[in-house]
Structure 1
């Protein structure tokens, strides 16, 4: 199949484009948010082709994969075909609703011509999808391999824009966690935090550095899941996470500690730092759990079903 999608979510797209189809990603001058083209920090296969936005009308497509509300209008303008009406489309919802969550309707809630695909059951639970046909395709992650050494008695955290997203990402909690363990923060715009920081590393380099840390800390209060959590588990890291998102489903008891109690979380962090054998054993269980639930083969198979059903 020939699939048009935007480069929005690097880790999710990296998994999605492993499926053996032909993938087209828009390219705009300056590689802005609506046309980043091919990823530069993620390993994408050759069948992912960047196409200048002004040439998209020339492309034959089987389906458009939408990920942001304004892409519906954007696709209509660039393609000369309306998603859901003139060309098959599906909409992937990566995010949890914002604002007054119990009363938040999805932008597609009043349409039934574009299927809505949630990446977690937590998303599906939180959004009011109205009459939009909806389903869940849980994440799949490219396995980085068991790379854990845990040689550094420090906790690794992955969060983009921690200052802007303070309470959402839980970065206001980091000072409390730092009393239990030294912290290293990886991601975009992390420089300037009073911890070790590693900014904008290519994915393979970030994985190598993260795996040297004794434990992975996932402080998010409000998100769909956070693929960095699954990647850390696949690396073989034990995890400590807030019980606020799909993390309660992703992390079984043998793989780490998930709680809403800050005292429980900080105690777990200190325990893993102090006991390398416990950390390694828990990390092995975390990797097994992630492989079982978030394997790439299952993810791609599920998406093939969605795409084949969407195609006219």
Structure 2
């Protein structure tokens, strides 16, 4: 049965993936395009059954389920655009991020709400947050990208795919990027990347064809959930070099899918190895792609979400 689901546009790549579940999805929009209210977005590749609805008309919708993704969604947006009846519908708080300011002593916004299902995108996230009384489970990431895109690695250079890396500072590993690109060929792509000598922002529909030409993806993220850029790169058959932090040590096996380490000297050495050995990069990229298909495949992801949707709406 197709459900009517309201979700805010917070993370474009994740929205593309979760809407592969073939339900009737509604995105609230406002003229000012405030956070969460951009609708489908410019040049959208979302399925046709993902529809925009003016925020002031959301109360008229016959909804089955609400998905919150930010504290603002959960506390403010809910009251502003949902009717009292809609606010009582089954709800999911989808948590994309690791807790701040502290990785173990931060209470989740939904921690006291036993009526909302809390979903984390990694086991690491669930472990770090204080989930309180909330029902918390994990549905691991997936990505929905053009299946015809395939890694070539023909460019002997690594690439990062991080938005606003310089503004996010040490959390995003900007200092490590600056240090390591002095030692090995390395660039970056994403919002405001041009300001630090990178490629700038490339639309999601074209991003992976560009990334596929580089020898490896480097993820310098010190503290985050499992970056979607890593899964996207693995999905197209690209080897990964990354810090051995957050969920990544459970994903990347050294010499099999790429390399992980917390030693910048080791990372620089492994990057140079991939640059000097393109055949090894291809081998590790193929292994990474196989892992992406099994652990992070869109089929598994859709099944997990549909199972949760069915369970939450069974009594509605």
Report the Cα offset of residue 143 of structure 1.
4.5
Taking only aligned residues, the RMSD between alpha carbons, in angstroms, comes to 1.4
1:191-227 deviation digits (Å, cap 9, x = unpaired): 221x3x2222111321111100011101000100110
Displacement of 1:109 after TM fit?
1.0
Question: Could you say which residue in structure 1 is the equivalent of 2:93?
Answer: 91
Gap change, CA 1:234 and 1:42, over 3 Å in 2: farther
Aligned to 2:126: 124
Counterparts in 2 of 1:82 and 1:200: CA distance versus 1, 3 Å: farther
Unaligned runs of 5+ in 1: none
Please name the residue that 1:24 is paired with.
Answer: 26
Equivalent position SS for 1:49: strand
The equivalent of 2:180 in structure 1 is: 177
Distance 2:274 2:205 in 1: 24
The answer to whether the Cα contact below 8 Å between 2:142 and 2:231 also exists between their aligned partners in 1 is no
Structure 1 segments (4+ residues) deviating >4 Å: none
> In the aligned structure 2, how far is the partner of 1:174 from the partner of 1:76?
42
Question: Which deviations, in whole Å up to 9, do the C-alpha atoms of 1:60-98 show, x marking residues without a partner?
Answer: 000001101121231232121266x52111110000001
Aligned-partner SS, 1:26: strand
TM-score normalised to the size of structure 1?
0.95
- Report the CA distance between 1:138 and its aligned residue: 0.5
Alignment of 1:1-312 (within 5 A): 1-72=3-74, 73-81=76-84, 86-145=88-147, 147-193=150-196, 195=197, 197-253=198-254, 254-311=256-313, 312=316
Distance 1:12 1:87 in 2: 23
> 1:103 aligns to what SS in structure 2?
coil
Distance between the aligned counterparts of 2:157 and 2:44, measured in 1? 26
Moved more, 127-136 or 99-108: 99-108
**Aligned residue pairs: how many?**
309
> Which whole-Å CA distance do the structure 2 matches of 1:292 and 1:143 have between them?
16
- Matches of 2:42 and 2:306 in 1, distance apart? 26
Q: Higher mean Cα deviation, 142-151 or 46-55?
A: 142-151
Give the secondary structure class of the aligned counterpart of 1:140.
coil
Give the secondary structure class of the aligned counterpart of 2:104: helix
Gaps of 5+ in 2: none
- TM-score, scaled relative to structure 2: 0.94
Task: Report the CA distance between 1:182 and its aligned residue.
Answer: 1.4
8 A Cα contact 1:144 1:231, kept in partner: no
Provide the C-alpha distance between the structure 2 equivalents of 1:144 and 1:181, rounded to a whole number of angstroms: 30
